[in-house]
Structure 1
Amino acid sequence: MSRTVWALLAILALAFAAITGLAVRHGLLGAPTQAAAIGGPFQLVDQTGRKVDAHVLKRKWSAVFFGFTYCPEACPTTLLALGQTEKLLGPKADDFQTVFISVDPQRDTPKVLANYLSNSAFPRRVLGLTGTPQQVAQAAGAYHVFYQKAGDGPDYQINHSTITYLMSPTGDFVCVIPYGDTPQAMTAKIDAAMSHGPHAQSC
């Protein structure tokens, strides 16, 4: 596939992500006041091979992002920003975690996730989650995440939403962190939500 086609696919994926973010914000995919509309049960495995479910979101503020380790731009950019955000939070970072859920279970095994997330510029408090295609689809559906395989062969890409979801220590949706937010903007939103306590409904 030509570079021009790949570029067009990337532009379409980013446009979809932006539209999805606005839709979530304004209630088109579930009003933000209806916390249960975003998030839900899932059964996955983390980067150590341990089986986990939605309880991993309890007791900490969680930045939930769906992506994949072969992602050329959106995923590493977001993880780099979250790594800086973790540092900017200072002592509050002890109550914060990044949850990276792969939408490429075919390639993203626990071992691959562990190696990818070991990047020192990425968050230190990070969970990498993967599973069977069915398990990943269930998790993505709970968060209204779009993803679709693009291309054939071993170098295929995945077009996907680039939204990050801030979830409270009760496991409830708080707000959307759009792709492209600076670490400073992310920190301000997370800090604002934390100031409202674990039952915060906005940031």
Structure 2
Amino acid sequence: MAGRAMNTRLISAAVAALLLSACGTQPGPRQDPPLAGARIGGPFALTDQNGKAVTDRDFAGKYRIVYFGYTYCPDVCPVDVQVIGAGLKAFEAQDKARADRVVPMFVTIDPERDTPPVVKEFVANFHPRMVGLTGGVDAIKAAAKAYGIYFAKRAPTAEGGYLVDHSRQVYLMDPEGKPMALLPAEKGPQELAAELAKWVQ
């Protein structure tokens, strides 16, 4: 009888553990982010859209969406940044507490034209919490290099304007500033929101 009672208790304990696991109170190990360990990101010292000097340390404890582009871009940059803003808004609608931990960041690769007021007007079109960053040419080059961003200014047109060729990765960085994932801006806001929901805790 004692053995049967012991077996019953063991079975009951095993069933209880299974039920707890099924209810999600004991989640399994979290999957590593796809960019875990990649040499992307690092310290920076730039100027925000309000003319305030900022560094990477000002965003410690926050997830960051980081995108490099320029406000005079005629096509891809406005589309990408619009998707970032809309995707974050969609994530906010699903889980505001987690979404509030995410800072969307637009970093210009055209600091000669993208002064703080220009950047401020640009980012205000896409999300109320979007941070626009500019700075000296050398500081922008250093930040772009740290994030693996290519850019090159084309020759001026007859009117004096110019385009800037650049890569268009959208990075999700963790609260320590380490890379987590590339966000699929090319797939639209809902896909971007789903990726945020997957990694932001």
Shorter-normalised TM-score: what interval?
Answer: 0.7 to 0.9
The runs of 5 or more residues in structure 2 that have no matched partner are 1-33
Amino acid at match of 1:98: P
Shift of 1:188: 0.8
Corresponding residue of 2:37: 34
After TM superposition, the structure 1 = structure 2 runs for residues 1-203 of structure 1, keeping only pairs within 5 Å, are 32-35=35-38, 37-90=39-92, 91=96, 92-119=98-125, 122-153=126-157, 154-194=160-200, 197=201
How far apart, CA to CA, are the structure 1 residues paired with 2:163 and 2:82?
Answer: 20
The normalised TM-score by structure 2 is 0.76
Identity %: 35
How far apart, CA to CA, are the structure 2 residues paired with 1:173 and 1:74?
Answer: 23
Amino acid at match of 1:180: E
Query: Equivalent residue of 1:152, what SS?
Result: coil
> Root-mean-square deviation (CA), in Å?
1.5
Residues paired across the two proteins, number: 162
Corresponding residue of 1:7: none
Flag the 1:63–1:44 CA change in 2: closer, same or farther, 3 A: same
Shift of 1:123: 1.6
Shift of 1:169: 1.3
How far apart, CA to CA, are the structure 2 residues paired with 1:163 and 1:171?
Answer: 16
Structure 1 outlier segments of 4+, above 3 Å: none
The normalised TM-score by structure 1 is 0.76
Higher Cα radius of gyration: 2
The runs of 5 or more residues in structure 1 that have no matched partner are 1-30, 198-203
